[in-house]
Each structure stands twice: as C-alpha cells, then as structure tokens.
Structure 1
Amino acid sequence: MRHAIIIGNTDGIGLALTRRLLSDGWAVTGLSRRAAGLEHDRYVHVAADVTAAGYPAELERACAGAGRVELCVYAAGVGDLLDLDDLAAQTRAIEVNLLGVARTVEVVVPRMLAAGGGHLVGLSSLADSLISPEAPGYAASKAGMSSFLIALGAALRPRGVAVSTVRFGFVDTKMAKGAVRPMMITVDRAVDVLIRCLRTRPAVVSYPRRMTLLTAALRPVSRIQARLRKR
C-alpha cells in the first residue's frame, strides 16, 4: 500500500488532498498543529508544529511508523499582511514556509534515498517572484522555498527521488488575503493539479497559467515600486 506523509493538513489544500488520497487507496499520515477532523482506518494523525524544536523527532517517528514513505507533501503555510506593530508575524512566515520545509527535508529525504525512490512536493506560490511590501515575509519565504526545492530536485533526481515545486496563485482558502484575488481557483481544482503532479513528477508546476503570465509581467513593476517607496 502506498503511504503518504502530508504536513499541514488541518484545512485547505492539505486536508482536501488527504481526503483525495484516502479515497484513491493511499494510507496517509498527517502532521499539523490541530486535528484534521478525519477518521479513517488508513489515516494516522500526529500533532506537530513545524516551528517547534521537537518537530524533526515527531516527523521521524511518524515516518518510522509509516514504513516506506513514497510521498511527502509540505502543505503547511502562513502569510499575514504586514503590520509594523507585529513584525513577529513576518518572521513566523519565514519559519513555517521556508525553515519548516528545510527541516522536513532533513528527515524525509535520507529515508527516500535509502529506499531508492520517493516524491517530495512543496506547495509554494506565484508570489515567489514578487517583491511585496504588503507581505514581505510571505513573498520572501516562498522565494526561498522555490529556490531551495528546485535546486534540491536537480541534485536528487539522478538518485531516483523526485522533487516538485507547485506554485499556485490564489486558492480559495484562508490564505487568500487581500481585496483583489484575480483568477482564484477552488481547493478541488488545486487538488486536481496536485494529483496530476503525482503522476508526472515535474520539477515545477505553475498554475493557473494566465496568473503565471500576469505575475511574470508584474515582477519588474513590483521591484520598481519597492525602490520608489524608499524615497
């Protein structure tokens, strides 16, 4: 039986993907700070915070209990708009979105290498290419996450381990903040994209395509705007 570890599956994409994999016959171990509200004979939940000192040990125990882990999906993520009275929220975005995935890699990748294969998927964002004064911690953490996973994937693919970086635009979850959310997709559509990713194992997925093109066009504009704000 195929076994997946999904990190950050209390709600949103992580929870929907957990349900889809269970319906497709996978066994799933979920790790998140709160319970996912799932009851299934092929589901095990572990309460864990990716920013806690004990997270790697919790993940190690979860992997050991699962046996061989064919798939690990890092779906944990936070992203608050900038509040100059609460800069700790920006730090937390970097801790969860970037350092959390790095700590996950430390535990999961050696196991996949020892097993001779596996697939690591990280949920990044099309915001990884933007300079965002509105959410600097989120944009910076996703830029670091994408860069890290894409480079890691290049190193691991010859060893039989695939790494996919999935860059979504706006998805209809609590993470979709802001007054304007162009081309927002449903959670179910995002899961469809992920299921296709599990079959084809691409290095990078950017979706939706029109939003990808729009983000690319906005990249130089965001850099100019950031420089002008300094004056």
Structure 2
Amino acid sequence: MLDDMERNCPEHTLPVLCDISQVDSFDNAWENIICKHSRIDLAIVCAGIGELNPKLDVETELSTLSVNVMGWANTVASIYRLFERQKSGHLVTITSVGGLQPTPIAPSYSASKAFQINYTKSLQNKTKGTDIIVTEIRPGLVDTRMAKGEGLFWVMPLDKVCRKIIKAIDKKQKRLIVTRRWRIINFALKHLI
C-alpha cells in the first residue's frame, strides 16, 4: 500500500521503517521526515502491540510497554511539538476499547491502552485556544492480527472500520468509538462497572 502511495504521489509520500520502541530509531526517522516535508498537516499514530500473557512473562509485558507506552509517547509528543511550532496540525491516535477494562490475560496491553486514552485526552485539553486538532479513534475488535483469543465476538471487518475512521478524520471529530456496538460496550464499561 505504501509503495502504491509513493508511486502515485511521490511528492507527498515518504515510506520510512522504524521501531518506535527504540527511541533513537524513531527520532532519526522523524528527523528525515521533517527534512523532506517541512510541514505536516495530518499525522496518524497507529502503533501498538499486545500478546495474551496470562502467565505474566516479564519480557512480554515489558515489550508491550516499550512500544505502547514509551515509544508511543515519544512519537505522539514529537508530532505534537511540531504542530505547536507550526501553530496547527491534526494528530490522530488509535487507542482501543481494551484500555477501559483491565484484563487478566493481557494486563500490559489493557494498561498501556488506558495510558494512550488518557494521554490523548490530556493533549486534547492542551489544544484549547489553538489550531491543533487531536482525534482519538478507539476501536473494538477489528479483523486484524491484533484480534487474539478464543470466542471473540463482534469482530468488525477492517474495511468497514477504515471507512468510519476516514470519515471521522475528515470531520475532525474529537473521538470515534468504532463501531456502534463497541460504543455500547464503551458506555457500559465507563458507567456501569
């Protein structure tokens, strides 16, 4: 997909490979992006990992946290600081309804997604009086490699979720919980449990 974008729109596309859990890797990639595109209007941060880990293997927990908290926060903060210098920009974070309720089979995943939700809310409060927009996309289970486990329900088709995300970004919504079924779950977890 990125190859197609680069071929069709080379002046607006710069595919860069980096591991955000390695801060230097991201920082170097980010510097290259800024050198090529001095201004960025829209940045979508869709980075996260998660494994089922009921036995609490420490390496698995720390690996998840290094991407979903440390690397993610460095990435989001770097983008936000650029938008502050530009005095405008649209930052989109992809979090998860998994951040609303702790889960014993993937504790670092649910905890790290709670961190992302609250970090995004903090940035949204920080944007007041600026031309910076922060949108949080909070999906439920989507038919990707991240949907793991037995007996999963309400797994949403990727193309349907993508269409809704694109629409929310175009409208510059503050938050989108994808899809309607997951909005019900989100409400229940937030208000009833």
Per the normalisation by structure 2, the TM-score is 0.87
2:72 corresponding residue in structure 1 = 101
Q: 8 Å contact 2:22–2:71 — kept in the other structure?
A: no
Give the deviation of 1:83 after TM superposition.
Answer: 4.7
Q: 8 Å contact 2:23–2:74 — kept in the other structure?
A: no
How far apart are the structure 2 equivalents of 1:45 and 1:202?
A: 26
The partner residue of 1:56 within 6, 17, 27 is 27
1:127 corresponding residue in structure 2 = 98
> How many aligned residue pairs are there?
190
Q: Mind listing any 5+ residue stretches in structure 2 that lack a counterpart?
A: none
- Aligned-partner residue type, residue 84 of structure 1: K
The partner residue of 1:112 within 79, 83, 106 is 83
Q: 8 Å contact 1:60–1:107 — kept in the other structure?
A: no
Quick check: 1:172 aligned with 2:147? no
Pairwise CA RMSD: 2.4
Give the deviation of 1:60 after TM superposition.
Answer: 2.3
Q: Sequence identity, in percent?
A: 24
How far apart are the structure 2 equivalents of 1:168 and 1:85?
A: 25
The partner residue of 2:184 within 190, 199, 213 is 213
Per the normalisation by structure 1, the TM-score is 0.74
* 1:3-152 mapped onto 2 (5 Å cutoff): 22=5, 39-42=7-10, 43-54=13-24, 55-84=26-55, 86-152=57-123
- Aligned-partner residue type, residue 147 of structure 1: N
Q: 8 Å contact 1:171–1:185 — kept in the other structure?
A: yes
Secondary structure at 2:173 match in 1: coil
Quick check: 1:194 aligned with 2:169? no
Residues 118 and 218 (structure 1 numbering): CA distance in 2 closer, same or farther, change over 3 Å? closer
Q: Deviations over 1:78-126 (max 9, x none)?
A: 0100152632112221221222221012321222122221111111101
Secondary structure at 2:129 match in 1: helix
- Aligned-partner residue type, residue 190 of structure 1: V
How far apart are the structure 2 equivalents of 1:89 and 1:198?
A: 32
Q: 8 Å contact 1:150–1:164 — kept in the other structure?
A: no
Q: 8 Å contact 1:165–1:205 — kept in the other structure?
A: yes
2:156 corresponding residue in structure 1 = 185
How far apart are the structure 1 equivalents of 2:154 and 2:55?
A: 29
1:4 corresponding residue in structure 2 = none
Q: Deviations over 1:127-148 (max 9, x none)?
A: 1110100100110000000000
Higher strand share: 1
How far apart are the structure 2 equivalents of 1:77 and 1:108?
A: 17
How far apart are the structure 2 equivalents of 1:106 and 1:64?
A: 18
Q: Which runs of 4 or more aligned residues in structure 1 lie more than 6 Å from their structure 2 counterparts after TM superposition?
A: none
